[in-house]
Amino acid sequence: MTGSIVLFGPPGAGKGTQADKIVQLTGKPQVSTGDMLRLALSKETELGLEAKKYMEAGQLVPDNVIIGLIKDRMHESDARNGVLFDGFPRTIPQAEALESITEVSTVISIEVPDEDIVNRIVGRRMDPENGEIYHITFKPPPTEVAHRLVQRKDDNEETVRMRLSSYHEQTKPLGDWYMEKGILHAVEGTGSIEEVARSISKILTFL
């Protein structure tokens, strides 16, 4: 399958987990704007230094810098047949800019109701000693480690609902935009990891 893939969905929908499986299935490298920014900063590239100015001022890195990083990434040999975008684009203007760099042939939207997202994220706990992630309902910790688990500061209900509100306002319209182009494929994301992976595999197999 030629062209790039966009993995789409609300925070906590399981995009990271499914991204790994899509990479294995398609051979397309996963592209994360966060990873690209960190690499550009560490190498002190021109775009990295420009991004640093905004980050140190507590501002969002503007779209033109992110698009510049993506443009550079698409020139690498492993991106010849497209890549997997995880977490980008987030807005229609970003998607329009992306069209000038690479053909997006498939958009996979992992659909999960808000209440399920809240339950997933608020129930997460991390073991600070080894980084293992548990969930008070879906993946309870062993008794011997339960006492040392911590909850990330941004895993509280108020913050999660704010992130979901932002997603619905800014990013959800992007799904409609891709749907009009006929390349959006919705996947029910409330099943097990394996069930969601099978649904995505079916979509990619028949393209």
1 has pLDDT over 70: no
Instruction: Please tell me the predicted confidence (pLDDT) of residue 87.
Output: 83
For the chain, which residues make up each domain, given as ranges? 4-28+81-205
Instruction: Please tell me the predicted confidence (pLDDT) of residue 59.
Output: 86
Q: What integer best gives the mean pLDDT of the chain?
A: 92
Are the beta carbons of 108 and 7 closer than 8 angstroms?
A: yes
190 has pLDDT over 70: yes
65 has pLDDT over 80: yes
Inter-axis angle of helices 92-99 and 172-180, nearest 10: 40
Per cent of the chain over pLDDT 90 is 80
User: Long-range CB contacts (< 8 A, 24+ apart) of 168-175?
Assistant: 170/90, 170/91, 171/8, 171/90, 171/91, 173/92, 174/8, 174/89, 174/90, 174/91, 174/92, 174/95, 175/8, 175/107, 175/109
20-37 pLDDT tens trace: 999 999 999 999 888 899
Q: Mean pLDDT throughout 60-72?
A: 92
Report the catalytic residues: 15, 90, 124, 152, 163
Are the beta carbons of 109 and 185 closer than 8 angstroms?
A: yes
* CA–CA separation, 129 and 144 (whole Å): 13
77 has pLDDT over 90: yes
Per cent of the chain over pLDDT 70 is 99
Are the beta carbons of 32 and 87 closer than 8 angstroms?
A: yes
* CA–CA separation, 3 and 81 (whole Å): 6
103-153 pLDDT tens trace: 999 999 999 999 999 999 999 999 999 999 999 998 999 999 999 999 999
Please give the CATH superfamily to which domain 4-28+81-205 belongs: P-loop containing nucleotide triphosphate hydrolases (3.40.50.300)
Kindly give, in sequence order, each residue whose CB lies less than 8 Å from that of residue 102, ignoring residues fewer than 6 positions away. Answer: 3, 4, 70, 74, 79, 82, 83
Phi, psi (degrees; rounded to nearest 5) at 62: -65, 160
